[in-house]
Chains A and B, each alone.
Chain A
Amino acid sequence: MNFYEYAPYAYFFLIIFLVVGSYSYIYHLYTKRKDSSGIDYEHYSNMALKDDIDDTPVKPMSDEKEK
């Protein structure tokens, strides 16, 4: 099988993969609502809204540093 024969199949499966991948990602985001560290995704907006240098980070690099 040369390139021109398998290219359409590869293309087809790539599209299927991207569709399934993106819909799974949507499903994941909207059912879990929170990321692995337990923070609601929507709270990340505060990174822009509370961005003074002495504001508390949404997710600090380390607890010790912030004390």
Chain B
Amino acid sequence: MENRPLEYDYTVAKMFMLTTIVLGIVGMTIGVFIAFELAFPGLNTIFGHTIAEYTAFGRLRPLHTDSVAFGFTVSGIFATWYYVGQRVLKVSMAESKFLMFIGKLQFWLYVLGVAAAVVSLFMGYTSSKEYAEFEWPVDIAIVVVWVLWGVSIFGLIGIRREKSLYISIWYYIATFLGVGMLYLFNNMEIPTMLATSPIGETNIGDWFHSISMYAGTNDALVQWWYGHNAVAFVFTVPIIAMIYYFLPKESGQAIYSYKLSLLSFWGLMFVYLWAGGHHLLYSTVPDWVQTMGSIFSIVLILPSWGSAINMLLTMKGEWQQVAASPLIKFMVLASTFYMFSTLEGPIQAIKSVNAIAHFTNWIVGHVHDGTLGWVGFMIIASLFHMAPRVFKRELYSKGLMAAQFWIQTLGIVLYFTSMWIAGITQGMMWRAHDEFGNLAYSFMDTVNVLHPYYALRGVGGLLYLTGFLMFAYNIYKTMSSRPVEESELQNASPMGA
């Protein structure tokens, strides 16, 4: 036993791979269902009026957003951390019983937290803050899970053999610190059981219910500082961590410019946190906050494109790999979608554009070309790269991967094009007025016009979900496919036909 060579230990990575896939299926299925609910409202009561509260759009929407963001994506972040962290620090989880225990504890508490979040949201318990709907007991569970992840990150760094921290590690650390700070400040809340009303009532509401510590405009400001930076530190920063590791590794190419990666990192860190004000354009927050939000959003193009271009140039001279490998296709398209949505976002943050875009489906389209194209594809690609290495087996089917890629790409295109048209149509119709200033259209006029685009969006989502199920099946079958030697795992992942 003592003489066995040291190996990386992927136990915890495998556990989080499982939740990535399961919660991805859950979140995306709910997403597709509520997309069709918007197109065909009858679906809200498809299972009968008695349980309509559980199937209505309003109840399911936070379940969709939270399960894809904090379920699928965060699981993907943890899974890749427990894989990439060991490798670039050149230290195995097997070397520390303590870190192994922390990793497993983090996983099981995470599963408990997810269960509590799903049940409470499904029951309709919510603090009503977007992407921060959880009541305080769940918030505390989330903080504990997060702190355990921090122990794992810094614990592994503490026992590393490689002195320098690879750029991905910087991004994982930024994710940990960023989300930690945002989550704590946005969820400052007071349990209502501790409050006393002006007329002396005590013990108000359920024991687990709480209200935000901030009021009115301040609450909105803190909420969107959080909301926008949740996009930064859940959907951007850790995903960059993934692509900086998995694309060079899978393609066998060194990062085009390591210096550019450092520069983009600091650029992103300095700029991102100031851009949240763009969610509150034309609202009651001070004008200078709105202007600052717009300006910093535009500046944000630079560091974002710095990373994205760095990734695309990493493939310089090796573009035949994009044609040959579906796995590289996923990553190159992910980085292209990253460029695309980090240009689209700043455009929407310009005040005059926002006057049309605000509250319309164009925003929904923007979020989804980022999350489906960039986040989803990158996590899928990461798991595809990890699977042969953690299971020591070749990927079950290259053909299935390629089919999945094209089905999902078509799904994304249908999704964002339909939402562009729907959003701009909506924005224009809301603003249209006659020479006396009377509105030209009623709200119902816009709903009728949007129907076909809503239906198309549902179809786009369904295609993406179909691809995701193919992905799950492919990974499942990989666990029992042809065993591979260590030498086959250097760069390009081994794939069965």
Contacts and interface: CB of A to CB of B under 8 A. Distances in A.
Interface of A: 7, 11, 18, 22, 25-26, 29-30, 39, 41-49, 51, 53-55, 57-61, 65-66
Task: Give the top 7 A-B pairs by smallest Cβ distance, nearest first.
Answer: A45-B254, A57-B162, A51-B87, A47-B166, A59-B163, A29-B259, A45-B255
Of the listed residues B92, B163, B252, B270, the one surrounded by the most CB atoms of chain A closer than 10 A to its CB is B163
Interface of B: 5-8, 87-88, 90-92, 160-164, 166-168, 244-245, 248-249, 252, 254-255, 257-259, 262-263, 266-267, 270, 288, 292
Nearest to B244: A48
Contacts of A66: 161
A44 B266 contact: no
A6 B163 CA distance: 44
B164 A29 contact: no
Contact of A53 (B7, B248, B249): B7
Contacts of A55: 90
A42 to B, nearest CB: 5
Tell me the interface secondary structure of chain A in the complex.
helix
B248 A41 contact: no
Contacts of A57: 90, 161-163
A17 B87 CA distance: 37
Contacts of B259: 29-30, 41-42
B245 to A, nearest CB: 5
A60 B166 CA distance: 13
Contacts of A51: 87-88, 90, 249
A53 B9 CA distance: 11
Nearest to B486: A52
Contact of B258 (A26, A44, A53): A44
Given A25-B266, A29-B263, A48-B244, A53 B163 contact: no
Nearest to A65: B161
B161 A22 contact: no
B254 A42 contact: yes
A53 B267 contact: no
Contacts of B92: 53
Given A47-B162, A49-B248, A49-B254, A41 B263 contact: no
A11 B288 CA distance: 11
Nearest to A42: B258
B209 to A, nearest CB: 36
Given A48-B245, A51-B87, A58 B162 contact: yes
A54 to B, nearest CB: 8
Contacts of A25: 263, 266
Nearest to B8: A53
B266 A48 contact: no
A39 to B, nearest CB: 8
Nearest to B87: A51
A53 B90 contact: yes
A41 B88 contact: no
A49 B258 contact: no
A26 B91 CA distance: 32
Contact of A42 (B161, B257, B267, B270): B257
Nearest to B255: A45
Nearest to A47: B166
A22 B299 CA distance: 13
